[in-house]
Amino acid sequence: EIVMTQSPATLSVSPGERATLSCRASQSISSNLAWYQQKSGQAPRLLIYGASTRATGIPARFSGSGSGTEFTLTISSLQSEDFAVYYCQQYNNWPRTFGQGTKVEIK
Amino acid sequence: DVQLVESGGGLVQPGGSLRLSCVASGFTVSSYYMNWVRQAPGKGLEWVSVIYSGGSLDYADSVKGRFTISRDNSKNTLYLQMNGLRPEDTAVYFCARGKRESEYWGQGTLVTVSS
């Protein structure tokens, strides 16, 4: 099973600032990585797939990068609606595995 | 529009059984990989099971031998039969469409395993 490790666990950011979230895979997953946003009481929302492709309707302030074992989600200028928990997920192998999440909170 | 609606959650005693349903609209369930993903209270996401478009099945080790995924093509519905439930199975269960990433998710149904 591929282990996904996200850092940091919590990120405190002021509105308008840049947020950088990291995700590391325990073995190479090529670009088979997705990022999701989840707000309290809601289902996850797909942000990024293929490590760097934005999903339909996702604002350009969200960007993803990386390949192999190291990945990054960047939110260029945080808006109030972006404060949430973010998960990475690999789909290179079964079982699909998620990182433990990064909570982006208001500083 | 694509929509997924789960139901069937509730309170069940340890060792009990429950069947979750996920009714799909806007697409044909049998044409896609369909997954169950769960989230324990205050915890992260855990993939549980998948049914391939071709009908093959796969499970997380934590549920293998206890849970069974299936679909009813005539009802365009995905199921998760859960037997031998344990307190650690307490979670919100989501159905999600996708072989790779999952763009479409249901709203989830809460399963609580407690005496």
Distant-in-sequence, close-in-space partners of B67: CB < 8 Å, separation ≥ 6: B48, B49, B59, B80, B81, B82, B83
Given a cut of 50, the residues of chain B with pLDDT beneath it are none
Burial class (CB in 10 A: 0-12, 13-18, 19+), B88: exposed
Q: In the prediction, which pLDDT does B102 show? A: 96
Question: Would you state the structure tokens that stand for residue B43, as one six-digit string?
Answer: 């915890």
Q: In the prediction, which pLDDT does A32 show? A: 98
B45 contacts in A (CB within 8 Å)? 36, 38, 44, 87, 89, 98, 101
Where does the pLDDT of residue A19 fall: very low under 50, low under 70, confident under 90, or very high at 90 and above?
A: very high
A23 close contact with B: CB closer than 8 A:
no
B47 contacts in A (CB within 8 Å)? 95-98
Mean residue pLDDT of chain A comes to 97
Q: In the prediction, which pLDDT does B101 show? A: 96
Q: In the prediction, which pLDDT does B96 show? A: 98
Nearest to A43 among B44, B60, B107 (CB): B107
Nearest residue of A to residue B35, measured between CA atoms: A96
Cα–Cα dist B19/A7, whole Å = 36
B5 close contact with A: CB closer than 8 A:
no
Task: Please name which of A59, A84, A87 lies closest in space to residue A73, comparing C-alpha atoms.
Answer: A87
Nearest to A98 among B44, B105, B108 (CB): B44
CA distance A79 to chain B (A): 22
Distances from the Cα of A100 to the Cα of B20, B33, B107, angstroms: 25, 24, 20
Q: In the prediction, which pLDDT does B6 show? A: 98
A75-95 pLDDT per residue, tens: 999 999 999 999 999 999 999
Task: Please name which of A88, A84, A82, A83 lies closest in space to residue A100, comparing C-alpha atoms.
Answer: A88
Q: In the prediction, which pLDDT does B104 show? A: 98
B64 close contact with A: CB closer than 8 A:
no
CB-CB neighbours of B114 under 10 Å: 10
Cross-chain Cβ contact B45/A89 below 8 Å: yes
